[in-house]
Amino acid sequence: MTAAKRTAKATRESLHRIFTIPEAPNSTLGRVEQQISHNLMGFLGDHIVATEKPLTDIEKDFAQAKIPETPSFVSDHMHHLLDKLVSQSVHTSSPSFIGHMTSALPYFILPLSKLMVGLNQNLVKVETSKAFTPLERQVLGMMHNLVYQHHDDFYQQWMHSAQHSLGAFCSGGTIANLTALWVARNNLLKAEGAFKGVAVEGLFNALKHYGYDGLAVLVSKRGHYSLKKSADVLGIGQDNVIAIDTDECNKIDCQKLHNKCAELTTKNIKILSIVGVAGTTETGNVDPLNHMAEIAQQFQCHFHVDAAWGGATLFSNRYRSLLSGIEKADSVTIDAHKQMYVPMGAGVVLFKDPASVNAIEHHAEYILRKGAKDLGSHTLEGSRSGMAMLVYSSLHIISRPGYEMLINESIEKAQYFAQLIQQHENFELITAPELCLLTYRYVPQAVLQYLAKADQATQQKINLLLDKLTKFIQKRQRENGKSFVSRTRIEVGRYGGEKVSVFRVVLANPLTQKNILSEILAEQQALAKQAPQLLAKLAAMTAST
């Protein structure tokens, strides 16, 4: 046999194997599988190494564009993954990584995900998903119920109706927001007389037909960038996502919102949607939704609430009222992969009116026939996995009171951390937590006292130095790999609305104990001392008078 023939034979044999015979439990893959099933946290702790390896070095491990010409043994490949990929991954579920919205996962998620992947159902059409389709519709019903709290009759009537949809499942908040605005756009610019609707004729004809000079989406300046992406895709244009100022609590200024709506209307710009944020990504605050709903009503426009992150607060009877008014929204975005402890790839958009999705209905001859119950006729995405199963299971296993406990604990932990920061002489709380998100920075006590009395020009100079210090500490902390807080820049009222750099903390990991929070402050204080030049400059500046 020639070498080429031998290789071909080996390849054929290994192909046969990978589709039929599972790895032995004592193989490398088998052992990894066992470890991650029995003790995921232990496995991650053991295999993710905290190094200061720069990204550009890691890129060298992923620099080969040639597709392999010889197959690898699974075990060899597993070693390769552990060495190059797992070791350099981010320990998102570590209790001391409190800077992101990517959550820790309950242990049952892992085996259930395996089952989901194993079944490999395609939710685009009933033909390839069968029981998963009604399951997803039920999950949408449950999430709709969480927001709108209709009577059971309502859900019995609409949940499984082919021509209706209580919402759409998708990969996350971005697609959910896009879907909401897509529905709003197509309902606003619907078919009328000889005009076949924006979906068929496009935006140019639609604006001509309705006699508008443009469309606008209004959201607070704390709105998520996915709205700009949506405006881009929908042909509305990023410039027409208009950012409205916020008050000192990072909530939209409704007077300014109202004025802007009036101004646009006189300019013959139609307001496509007002978007309220329930839990801003940077500060975690909730807009005054009731008031916004009134304004939307007055200007006859769609009212969307982006509760991608904060929506899970609705599980909490204690804190649900923080989102009061959300039930008046025409559509609501909630990410299950944020505060519902489901892995990434699970977002929903919910619609108050079950018929509103007809505006985005698509049919094809071979699938998605009219009158069929295929979910794909009302979703942006086509082929889609059975992620709804993980939400379904979490809702059953954790239950509403369980979620309430998780939410309450997160919010109360954030309140505790805020207190800790305020009591500490060398830290400044920048935004207090309304939900479980807060921002703060390191400021030596003397500097903080000086800042409070300084004029705005001096404040600006000091804040520039503090920005550098914040950046320095945050970077070092991340590189040390023990703990992680994120960093953003926000306008701060008490400093004349100037942007300052802050640490951003999201306290949604149930395993984050109070002592970890104290340790994080202690680490940051110690790291600050590693920037003696910055500290000296600050001291000099504040001692000069």
Ligand X SMILES: *Cc1c(COP(=O)(O)O)cnc(C)c1O
**Closest alpha carbon to 537 in 439, 487, 474, 467:** 467
Among 105, 135, 308, 395, binds ligand X (CB under 6 A): 308
Residues 483-522 that bind ligand X (CB under 6 A): none
Query: Which residue's beta carbon is nearest to the bound ligand X?
Result: 173
Stretch touching ligand X by CB under 6 A, among 74-82, 104-112, 173-181, 324-332: 173-181
CB 310 to ligand X: min, Å: 7
Interaction between residue 325 and ligand X (CB under 6 A): no
Site string for ligand X, 44-83 (x = CB under 6 A): ----------------------------------------
CB 250 to ligand X: min, Å: 12
Stretch touching ligand X by CB under 6 A, among 26-34, 301-309, 384-392, 511-519: 301-309
**Closest alpha carbon to 332 in 300, 358, 306, 353:** 306
Burial annotation 45-65 (CB, 10 A radius, 16+ → b, else e): eebbeeeeeeeeeeeeeeeee
- Based on CB atoms, which residue is closest to ligand X, 506 or 531? 506
**CA of 60: how far to CAs of 41, 49, 55, 170, 478, in Å?**
28, 18, 9, 34, 21
CB 281 to ligand X: min, Å: 4
- Based on CB atoms, which residue is closest to ligand X, 214 or 345? 345
- As given in the structure block, the two tokens for residue 94 are 């570590």
CB 347 to ligand X: min, Å: 5
**Closest alpha carbon to 333 in 108, 144, 133, 524:** 144
Site string for ligand X, 208-247 (x = CB under 6 A): ----------------x-x---------------------
- Based on CB atoms, which residue is closest to ligand X, 172 or 444? 172
Among 141, 172, 288, 444, binds ligand X (CB under 6 A): 172
CB 174 to ligand X: min, Å: 3
The set of long-range contacts for 39-43, using a CB threshold of 8 Å and a minimum separation of 24, is: 40/93, 40/105, 40/107, 40/110, 41/93
CB 284 to ligand X: min, Å: 9
- Based on CB atoms, which residue is closest to ligand X, 103 or 524? 103
Interaction between residue 173 and ligand X (CB under 6 A): yes
Interaction between residue 335 and ligand X (CB under 6 A): yes
User: In sequence order, what DSSP letters do the residues of 385-443 get, joined into one string?
Assistant: --THHHHHHHHHHHHHHHHHHHHHHHHHHHHHHHHHHHHSTTEEEEE--SSSEEEEEE-
Sequence-ordered alpha helix ranges (H) in 105-170: 109-119, 132-148, 152-158
Among 277, 301, 406, 538, binds ligand X (CB under 6 A): 277
Interaction between residue 284 and ligand X (CB under 6 A): no
Interaction between residue 309 and ligand X (CB under 6 A): yes
**CB-based contacts of 142, cutoff 8 Å, min separation 6:** 395
Read off the DSSP letter of residue 23. P
- Based on CB atoms, which residue is closest to ligand X, 219 or 517? 219
**CA of 81: how far to CAs of 29, 73, 85, in Å?**
11, 12, 5
Among 141, 252, 301, 306, binds ligand X (CB under 6 A): 306
CB 179 to ligand X: min, Å: 11
- Based on CB atoms, which residue is closest to ligand X, 414 or 473? 414
CB 122 to ligand X: min, Å: 21
The set of long-range contacts for 356-363, using a CB threshold of 8 Å and a minimum separation of 24, is: 356/183, 356/187, 356/330, 356/331, 357/164, 357/165, 357/168, 357/183, 358/163, 359/182, 359/183, 359/186, 359/187, 359/190, 359/199, 360/179, 360/182, 360/183, 360/186, 360/199
- β-strand partners of 441: 428
Stretch touching ligand X by CB under 6 A, among 11-19, 32-40, 167-175, 507-515: 167-175
Stretch touching ligand X by CB under 6 A, among 183-191, 211-219, 305-313, 536-544: 305-313
Yes or no: say if 386 and 129 are a contact pair by the CB < 8 Å rule. Answer: yes
Among 103, 121, 174, 179, binds ligand X (CB under 6 A): 174
Size of the site for ligand X (CB under 6 A): 14
Yes or no: say if 129 and 122 are a contact pair by the CB < 8 Å rule. Answer: yes
Count the neighbouring beta carbons within 10 Å of the beta carbon of residue 457: 9
- Give the span between the Cα atoms of 260 and 253, in whole angstroms: 11
- Based on CB atoms, which residue is closest to ligand X, 279 or 354? 279
Residue 506 main-chain phi, psi, to 5 deg: -120, 115
CB 257 to ligand X: min, Å: 18
CB 23 to ligand X: min, Å: 33
- Based on CB atoms, which residue is closest to ligand X, 198 or 244? 244
Rounded to a whole number of angstroms, the CA Rg of the chain reads: 26
Interaction between residue 374 and ligand X (CB under 6 A): no
What's the sign of the alpha-carbon dihedral 197, 160, 335, 292? Answer: positive
Stretch touching ligand X by CB under 6 A, among 43-51, 168-176, 230-238, 494-502: 168-176
Interaction between residue 281 and ligand X (CB under 6 A): yes
- Give the span between the Cα atoms of 407 and 181, in whole angstroms: 28
- Give the span between the Cα atoms of 150 and 141, in whole angstroms: 10
Stretch touching ligand X by CB under 6 A, among 85-93, 211-219, 303-311, 522-530: 303-311
- Give the span between the Cα atoms of 442 and 524, in whole angstroms: 8
Applying CB under 6 A, the residues found at the interface with ligand X are 101, 172-174, 177, 224, 226, 277, 281, 306, 308-309, 335, 347
